[in-house]
Amino acid sequence: MDARLDFIFGRRSIRAYTAEPVAPAMVEALLHAAMSAPSAVAKDPWRFVVVRERATLQRLTEELPNGKMLAEAAVGVVVCGDLEAAHDRQLSYLLQDCSAAIENLLLAAHVLGLGACWLGVHPRENRIRHVRTVLGLPEQVVPVSAIAIGHPAEFKEPRSRYQAQSVHYEKW
Q: What CATH number does residue 73 fall under? A: 3.40.109.10
Q: Which one-letter DSSP state was computed for residue 166? A: G
Structural domain contains residue 159: no
For 21, the domain range is: 17-154
Structural domain contains residue 99: yes
Is pLDDT above 90 for 5? yes
Q: Which one-letter DSSP state was computed for residue 104? A: H
- Report d(CA 127, CA 111) in Å as an integer: 30
Strand order in the sheet with 115-120: 46-51, 75-82, 141-150, 115-120
Backbone phi, psi, residue 51, to 5°: -125, 125
Residues 45/82, Cβ–Cβ less than 8 Å:
yes
Peptide bond into 152 cis (omega under 30): no
Give the pLDDT confidence of 79-105 residue by residue, as tens digits.
999 999 999 999 999 999 999 999 999
Residues 39/45, Cβ–Cβ less than 8 Å:
yes
Q: Give burial (CB, 10 Å; 0-12/13-18/19+) of 89.
A: middle
Structural domain contains residue 5: no
Which pTM was predicted? 0.96
Count of domains for the chain: 1
Q: Percentage of residues in the chain with pLDDT exceeding 90?
A: 99
112 contacts: CB under 8 Å, gap ≥ 6: 26, 29, 30
Structural domain contains residue 47: yes
Give the pLDDT confidence of 16-36 residue by residue, as tens digits.
999 999 999 999 999 999 999
Structural domain contains residue 163: no
